Structures are given as structure tokens and as C-alpha cells.
Amino acid sequence: MSVSDIIEQIEMGGSASTGDVAELLSVRSEDDISRLFSAAASVRDRFFGKKVFMYGFVYFSTHCRNNCAFCYYRRTNDLPRYRKTKEEVLALSASLKDAGINLVDLTMGEDPFMCANDYEEFLDITRTIKDEIDISVMASPGAVPSGSFVKFKEAGTDWFACYQETYNRELFNKLRLEQNFDNRLSQKIWAREAGILAEDGIMVGLGESLKDRADSIIKMGSLGCEQIRAMTFVPQKGTPMEKMKPSRPIDELIAIAVMRLIYPDRLIPASLDVEGIAGLKSRLDAGANVITSIVPPHQDLAGVAQHELDIENGHRSVAHVMHLLDEMGKKAASNTEYESLLKKLKEQQPVVG
């Protein structure tokens, strides 16, 4: 089938095979890309209207016990690190809510201090944010034991994010050194069983084939993850992949559009962590409906893929992002609208037990 035929088949409610998804991911002509993006944006607008959800990114600890081959903050990379105090995280979360953010993404490396005593410190921060600030929270602590998810739920965690990066096991083992593929995959399952919404993500341009990418997209969706993402791999200084040629940004955009087409009701982020604010419009045009990695300036916070890009100049601030949304004819969702969506998503989760 042609690209147009596959798109039409999906638009009419038909399913997409791995081969169909790989074919869509392979598009290169301007006409095919335009058709794909137009269809994805139309689907997004049909399900979500012009509303865009906004996530504040609080990377509160860059200490990590892992040694991932692609990560700037891998254990063996000798560089300055920081760990924010509970008071600093609370102040940042409160300021983000006041500015109009819908969710605070509490992200860290697998910091041994924060992982101690079954994540006692992390959960205390989460609980206090929920009680005192009353904003939705995403936990991004890395992989945790299966028995810990009940505690994350009791602390008020709305989302649990744990990116697989790829569903090619051989490639995974080259990327996430000393880690277990099945344990990381199960994070999403265990989170949803505990009543927490789950986010999964892949990285584009790690050496995967189009079939690998298609398999990963289908697997993320089949797990039931309510939020799925794709991000372009950015080579990091001091890592084994430092000299690897980065992928073209268009590959990430195509992946976003394909995910939107085959999973029309999912939340799909437009991350500011790859191209900064310059890449926002193209990601929304491809079908994204969440803006992630919004980072306030002058707080000594880092990003992930680009740990400094557009942060201190204020271009990743809430005010600047909202201004651009207004120019694009989009609407930043209110916290009431976001909470209503979360309630609906949680009610749709299968009952376990």
C-alpha cells in the first residue's frame, strides 16, 4: 500500500501492522510528510481540540548509580552534579503552578540518597507537593522495585515515567549497561496495576532500524501507556556514544505523527530538550499535545538531552512558551481541564485483582 492508503486505512478505523508503521516511518518526500503531519494534527484536534498541556521539568538530582552509554550524567562521567533540597523542590513546584503549569515532573538520576529506605525522601517530597501545592506530579526516578509502586500511589503520584528507549533487546543491552530489559519494561505494567498512569518513550537515532522503531511504537501502545513519546538522540560529551552522528530532527517528527495516528487518544509530548524552543511548533504541527521540559531560568536546573539549551535565556520559561502558544492559535489547558482528563484516564484503567 502507498503511504496515503495506509493513512486512509487508519483514519477509517483500520489497524496498522508493523509493516504499515515502518512504511509510514520511512516517508521522505515532502508530499508524503505533509500528508502524514496533516492527518496527525487533524486527529489530535478531533480528540483534544486546541488545548495543549504543560509540564514543568524539575531535574532535582543529577547523581546516578547507572552507567547508560548515552547519558551525560552516567556514573563514570566526571562532572559537577547537584541535588536540590526538599525546600528548593517545593518552591520550584509552587512557582510553576502559579505560572500556569499543569504538572510537575520530578526527575532524577537513580540517586542512591533518594533511593534509600524505599524512596523515603522522594516520596516525602511528592506527598508534600500534593498536600501543600496541590498540583499533579509525575515521578521519574528510574526503575524501582515492584513492591514500591503502592507507596508511590499512596504518596499521590499521578504519573510514573520510565523510558525503554528501544524494544530491541540487543540494542537495549548496549545502551542501558548493567540493566535488565524485562525489569524496565515491567515498570509501566506495575505502575498501571497500582493505579498510576504510565509514560514510556523511545529514542530516535540510536542505531535502530525502521522495523525496530515500529516495533517499539506498537509495544508502547500495547502496554496501555497513557503517554508515549519519541525524542532524538543527542550525543553527549564524556560518553561512549559521544562521536556518534545524530539523527535528523525530521525522524522524531515523523515518529510523533505516526504515534498520533495509531494512538489518537494518547498524550504525546513535544519536548523542548532537543531543539529548544525553536523545535516547539514543528512538534505540535506533527500531532503532539503536551509541552515537556519547561524549565524556569536562574534556578540552576539542567535538562537531559541538552542540559543547558534555552534555559538561562528564559526561552523554556512558562511565560515564553505561553506567548508562543498564543501566536500559534493554541490554548494552554487549565489545571481544572488537566485534572478532568487525568480523572477520565484513571477511570479507564483496567481493574487489577
Which residue ranges are tagged as binding site? 64, 68, 70-71, 105, 140, 163, 165, 176, 184, 229, 271, 292-293
Is the CA virtual torsion 82, 85, 89, 92 positive or negative? negative
The SS3 assignment for 208 reads coil
Per DSSP, the residues of 285-318 read HTT--EEEEE--TTS----SSSSSTTTTTSTTSH
Q: Which residues are annotated as a binding site for S-adenosyl-L-methionine?
A: 70, 165, 176, 184
Q: Which three cell numbers stand for residue 80?
A: 559537577
301 sits in the region (left: phi over 0; alpha: psi -120 to 50; else beta) called beta
Are residues 6 and 26 in contact, defined by beta-carbon separation less than 8 angstroms?
Answer: no
- Cα 155–chain centre separation: 21
| Angle between helices 18-25 and 249-262 in degrees, nearest 10 | 140
Alpha-carbon distance of 51 to 321, in angstroms, equals: 14
Contact 216, 167 (CB under 8 A): yes
Binding residues for [4Fe-4S] cluster: 64, 68, 71
Residues of the binding site for (3R)-3-methyl-D-ornithine = 105, 140, 163, 229, 271, 292-293
CA-to-CA distance for 30 and 115, rounded, in angstroms?
48
